Chains A and B, each alone.
Chain A
Amino acid sequence: MAGVGSACLAVALLTALYAVGASIYGARVGRREWVTSGRRAIYCVAALAVTAFGLLEAAFLRSDFSFALVAEGSSTDTPTFYKVTALWATQDGSLLLWVTLLSLFSTAVLFLTRRSLRDIAPYATAVLGCIAAFFLLLMVGWENPFDTLATPPVDGAGLNPLLRHPAMMIHPPMLYTGYVGFSIPFAFCIGALVARRTGADWIRATRRFALIAWTFLGTGIMLGALWSYTELGWGGYWAWDPVENASLMPWLVGTAFLHSIMVQEKRGMLKVWNVSLICATFTLALLGTFLVRSGILDSIHAFGASTIGVQFLVFIGLVIALSAGLIISRLPQLRSEAKLDSLLSREAFFLLNNLVLVGLCLVIMWGTFFPLISEAITGTEASVGPPWFDRLVTPLALVLVLLSGIGPVLAWRRFTPSALRRILAVPLAAMALALVVLLAFTNASDSPASLAMFCLVAFVITVVSQELWRGTVARRTMTGESWPRALGRLTGRNRRRYGGYLVHAGIAVLFLGVAASSAFLDQRDVRLRPGDTFEVNGYQVTYRQATAKVGGDSAGTGAPISFGAVLDVRKDGKHFVMRPSRNYYASPDPSLGTISRFFEGEATSEVDVRWGLRRDLWLAVRPDIGSLEKPIRVADTKFADSSADVQAFIIAALAERYRSDPPPAAFRAIASPLVMWIWIGGAIVVLGALVAAWPSPEARLRRVRSLYSARLGRELSRA
Chain B
Amino acid sequence: MDPTRKRRLRLVVALTAAVLLATALIYTSFSASTEASKPSEIKPGRSYELTGKVVNGSIRHVGGDLRFRVRDRDGTASVPVSYTGVVPDPFRDGREVIVSGELQKGTFVAERDSLVTKCPSKFTKDEQSS
Residues of chain A touching chain B, judged by Cβ–Cβ distance below 8 Å, are 72, 89-91, 94, 157, 160, 162-163, 232-234, 292-293, 298-306, 339, 355, 359, 362-363, 366-367, 370-371, 374, 380-385, 387-388, 391-392, 525, 527, 587-589, 602-605, 622, 624, 626, 666, 668
Contacts and interface: CB of A to CB of B under 8 A. Distances in A.
Contacts of B89: 162, 232-233, 602-605
Contacts of B88: 232-234, 300
25 contacts: A72-B125, A94-B123, A162-B89, A162-B120, A163-B122, A233-B86, A234-B86, A293-B123, A302-B96, A302-B121, A303-B124, A359-B21, A363-B21, A370-B29, A380-B35, A382-B33, A383-B34, A388-B28, A388-B29, A391-B28, A525-B86, A525-B113, A587-B128, A588-B128, A626-B61
Contacts of A527: 64
B118 A301 contact: yes
Contacts of A384: 29, 32-33
Given A234-B86, A234-B88, A300-B117, A385 B122 contact: no
Interface in B45-93: 49, 51, 61, 64, 85-90, 92
Interface of B: 3, 14, 17, 21, 24-25, 28-30, 32-37, 49, 51, 61, 64, 85-90, 92, 96, 98, 113, 116-126, 128-129
Contact of A374 (B25, B30, B37): B30
B124 A525 contact: no
B85 A89 contact: no
A301 B122 contact: yes
B123 A162 contact: no
B34 A385 contact: yes
Contacts of A234: 86, 88
B79 to A, nearest CB: 18
A346 B121 CA distance: 47
B89 to A, nearest CB: 5
Nearest to A380: B35
A291 to B, nearest CB: 12
Contact of B118 (A302, A374, A392, A622): A302
Given A234-B86, A359-B21, A525-B86, A302 B32 contact: no
Most buried by B among A163, A300, A605: A300
Given A298-B51, A388-B28, A392-B28, A382 B34 contact: yes
Given A362-B21, A385-B32, A589-B128, 5 more contacts: A90-B123, A91-B123, A298-B36, A300-B116, A300-B118
Contacts of A388: 28-29, 32-33
A384 B118 CA distance: 17
Contacts, number: 124
Contacts of A362: 21, 25
Contacts of B119: 160, 162, 300-303
Nearest to A93: B123
A371 B118 contact: no
Contacts of B86: 233-234, 525, 622, 666, 668
A151 B78 CA distance: 39
B125 A89 contact: no
A366 B64 contact: no
Nearest to A592: B128
B35 A381 contact: yes
Contacts of A370: 29, 33
Given A157-B126, A304-B124, A383 B61 contact: no
Contacts of A301: 118-119, 122
A622 B116 CA distance: 16
A363 B33 contact: no
A66 B62 CA distance: 45
A8 B69 CA distance: 49
Most buried by B among A160, A292, A387: A160
A162 B90 contact: yes
Contacts of A293: 123
Nearest to A629: B61
A396 B58 CA distance: 45
A364 to B, nearest CB: 11
Contacts of B21: 359, 362-363
A602 B120 contact: yes
Contacts of A367: 29
Contact of B124 (A305, A588, A624): A305
A451 to B, nearest CB: 23
A298 B34 contact: no
B28 to A, nearest CB: 6
A256 to B, nearest CB: 15
A530 B16 CA distance: 62
A387 B32 CA distance: 9
A299 B30 contact: no
A343 to B, nearest CB: 9
A173 to B, nearest CB: 15
Contact of B24 (A298, A380, A392): A392
B101 to A, nearest CB: 14
B36 A371 contact: yes
A454 to B, nearest CB: 25
A624 B117 CA distance: 19
Contacts of B98: 298
B28 A588 contact: no
Contacts of B92: 602
Given A381-B36, A384-B32, A588 B129 contact: yes
A603 B92 CA distance: 10
A148 to B, nearest CB: 16
Contacts of A525: 85-86, 113
A383 B32 CA distance: 9
Contacts of B3: 339
B20 to A, nearest CB: 11
B118 A299 contact: yes
A160 B120 contact: yes
A381 B119 CA distance: 20
Contacts of A603: 89
Contacts of A304: 121, 123-124
Given A382-B36, A589-B128, A392 B90 contact: no
A301 B116 CA distance: 10
Contacts of B90: 162, 602
A94 B129 CA distance: 21
A589 B94 CA distance: 13
B35 A382 contact: yes
Contacts of B35: 380-382
B34 A622 contact: no
Contacts of A605: 89
Please give me the 10 A-B residue pairs with the lowest Cβ-Cβ distance, nearest first: A304-B121, A304-B124, A91-B123, A302-B118, A382-B33, A303-B123, A589-B128, A388-B32, A382-B35, A588-B129
B39 to A, nearest CB: 15
Nearest to A583: B89
